[in-house]
Amino acid sequence: MQPELQPVNTGYGSIAAAPESQKVLRNTYMLLALTMVPTVIGAYLGIQFAPVMMASPFMTMIVMLASVIGLQFAIIRYRDSVIGIGLLLLMTFLLGAFLGPMLNVALQMRNGMQLVGYAAAGTGIIFFGMGTLAATIKRDLAPMGKFLFVGMLALLVAMIANMFLQIPALALTISSLVIVVFSLYLLYDLNRIIRGGETNYVMATTGVYLSLLNIFSSLLHLLMALGGEKD
């Protein structure tokens, strides 16, 4: 007769499925590390084709959104199989490619490599901070989900509108708000994993990856605008 699994106090409440949630969290981190490979490859190719994408930024954005949304639906469909992992890696490759134009502009600056490094380091710090907070906070953050989704939609509308308005101050404001919203999304997603609310590591990785990508790109945009040194 096997012993009954007892609730485990982890600092955020008693959760009977703590071992399972730890397994999901561990697998999420491992898959997240793997996604960096296609992201880097995609970014390299994106830099090479940056002039083509920058020639029609609105169309590039539409293609990106359609691709990401379509792949997310497919990932949901195949989240319990290796196909889901393959679709996730394909999505990260495409998102890396769509970073190409921004990276191309950054690397043309005298301190471009330094700015990219700062953006990556800042993203890592936010990730570590939100992960630590998610593991220690005692409240269930599930109610945050609806507000964050509405905030994300509002930012998407503002970004599309500013592609036509071309207001620098609005662009900086949007980037700042993106960092705030997706940092909270990181906290929300990691808290759900730890509390056992998300039991599929492919879906968990998808959410965490998208948050990190948005934070990185917004940080880089702010650094380029405020500290970029043009030749």
Determine, yes or no, domain membership for 12: no
Determine, yes or no, domain membership for 5: no
DSSP letters spanning 55-72:
HSHHHHHHHHHHHHHHHH
Determine, yes or no, domain membership for 75: yes
pLDDT in tens, 97-128: 999 999 999 999 999 999 999 999 999 999 99
Q: Cβ–Cβ contacts within 10 Å for residue 17, how many?
A: 15
pLDDT band, residue 59 (cuts 50/70/90): confident
Contact by Cβ (8 Å): 222, 175: yes
For the residues 40-58, what does the mean pLDDT come to?
92
Query: If you average pLDDT over every residue of the chain, what do you get?
Result: 89
Determine, yes or no, domain membership for 71: yes
Comparing 5-14, 90-99, 134-143, 147-156, which segment has the lowest mean pLDDT? 5-14
For the residues 203-218, what does the mean pLDDT come to?
96
Percent of the chain with pLDDT over 70: 92
pLDDT of 34:
97
Contact by Cβ (8 Å): 50, 100: yes
Angle of the 112-136 helix axis to the 201-227 helix axis, nearest 10:
140
Determine, yes or no, domain membership for 8: no
Comparing 15-19, 49-53, 61-65, which segment has the lowest mean pLDDT? 15-19
DSSP secondary-structure letter at 38? H
Q: Show Cβ contacts of residue 194 under 8 Å, excluding neighbours closer than 6 positions.
A: 10, 12, 21, 25, 134, 135
pLDDT of 75:
96
The structural domain count of the chain equals 1
Determine, yes or no, domain membership for 2: no
pLDDT of 18:
66
Determine, yes or no, domain membership for 4: no
Structural domain span for residue 65? 17-227
Q: Is the pLDDT of residue 11 over 50?
A: no
Distance CA 213, CA 36 (A): 10
Q: How many residues are recorded in the chain?
A: 231
pLDDT of 32:
96
Determine, yes or no, domain membership for 6: no
Report, in this order, helix, strand and coil percent for the chain, each rounded to 5.
80, 0, 20
Q: Is the pLDDT of residue 16 over 70?
A: no
Q: Is the pLDDT of residue 9 over 80?
A: no
pLDDT in tens, 18-40: 678 889 999 999 999 999 999 99
